Structure 1
Amino acid sequence: MESLMRYINRTARLSTLYRNEKLKEYGLTGIHHTYILNICRNPGISQEKLAKMIYVNKSSVTRQLARLELKGYVKRIPSTSDKRELLIYPTEKTNEVYPIVADLLNEWNDGILEDFSLEEKEILLRSMQEIMQKAKIMVDDLPN
């Protein structure tokens, strides 16, 4: 059987290239979409929870949030209960770009799946959800 991961990885890279181009005018890159979406959906989320939510290491999240903060897309505020913990909030600029990012993802999904029937789309989505769940279990089982 051919390598499933090869196709998943290549599709993910192509998706990033697409988002890079589409988000360039906003000063964002293809990887920023997940930060924008999750911060808008979870205002006040901690950096640590965000890292776990998007499956990225904490240092990468810190770097990307610093870039987004410099561009005016997020505010990082120390927690009142733990000054070491930073809570992330969207800015007005983030809220303005949120629907653009959401539409962009819908545009991508519609484009890559346009030749699929509804049934094929549902099967693919369920299969990908199962694959992701198995991958999560494998990562969670790794020693810390």
Structure 2
Amino acid sequence: MEQSPLTTSQLDESVGFLMGVTYRKLTNFLLQRLKNYDITPEQWAVLVRVREQEGLIQKELAARSGKDKPTTTRILDTLESKQYITKKPDKSDRRSFLIYMTEKGNTLIEQTLPIERQTLVDVTAGFSKSEYDMLIQLLLRIGENLNQLTKED
């Protein structure tokens, strides 16, 4: 049996489509707010993960950031060239590097964290606490479902 193509109204109710559109809008909005700091939202998110736990290897950092290894490598190389992080060889595995914040990286996060927080306040304006909490729980559940589905493939 042939499936009919999605209509516009069906696409507007597609979780994947809506999440993609919203992600791009949010990323572009935050990019504009961060433009004076010479960092992209993608780089910023990885830098925050480094700050949360320094000394991680790249593979672990990629997993925590939700990015693949080549993307993480590119971002880390950029952050290192901007002197926001340093890479130190892992004594237990010479192929791996441990990632650490620099003072410059810590300063950048201190300066930009209020911008990111205000952006979240702005884009969730009108949400009650319970609505916000539910949104987070639903997004986490979708992510977990995707993790399970990709393990099966």
Q: TM-score of the superposition, structure 1-length normalised?
A: 0.90
- Equivalent residues of 1:43, 1:90 under 8 A apart: yes
Runs of 4 or more, structure 1, over 3 Å off, are none
Give the structure with higher Rg (CA): 2
Report the equivalent of 2:107. Answer: 96
* 2:42 paired with 1:31: yes
* 2:129 paired with 1:131: no
Partner Cα separation in structure 2 for residue 50 and residue 12 of structure 1: 21
Which of these residues, 6, 20, 33, is aligned with residue 22 of structure 1?
Answer: 33
Counterparts in 2 of 1:33 and 1:140: CA distance versus 1, 3 Å: farther
* 2:55 paired with 1:44: yes
Partner Cα separation in structure 2 for residue 5 and residue 91 of structure 1: 37
Partner Cα separation in structure 2 for residue 79 and residue 101 of structure 1: 30
Supply the RMSD in Å over aligned alpha carbons. 1.5
- Equivalent residues of 1:37, 1:102 under 8 A apart: no
Quote the sequence identity (%): 26
Partner Cα separation in structure 2 for residue 109 and residue 93 of structure 1: 24
Partner Cα separation in structure 2 for residue 31 and residue 21 of structure 1: 13
- Equivalent residues of 1:18, 1:30 under 8 A apart: no
Alignment of 1:1-80 (within 5 A): 2-80=13-91
Partner Cα separation in structure 1 for residue 116 and residue 151 of structure 2: 28
Q: What displacement does 1:19 show?
A: 2.1
Partner Cα separation in structure 1 for residue 112 and residue 69 of structure 2: 23
Q: What displacement does 1:127 show?
A: 1.5
The count of corresponding residues between Structure 1 and Structure 2 is 142
For residues 14-71 of structure 1, give each alpha carbon's deviation from its aligned partner in whole angstroms, at most 9, with x where no partner exists. Answer: 1211222222222111211211110001101100111111121111111111111111
Unaligned runs of 5+ in 2: 1-9
AA at the equivalent of 1:34 = A
Q: What displacement does 1:96 show?
A: 0.8
Structure 2 SS opposite 1:85? strand
Partner Cα separation in structure 1 for residue 130 and residue 62 of structure 2: 33
Partner Cα separation in structure 2 for residue 128 and residue 60 of structure 1: 23
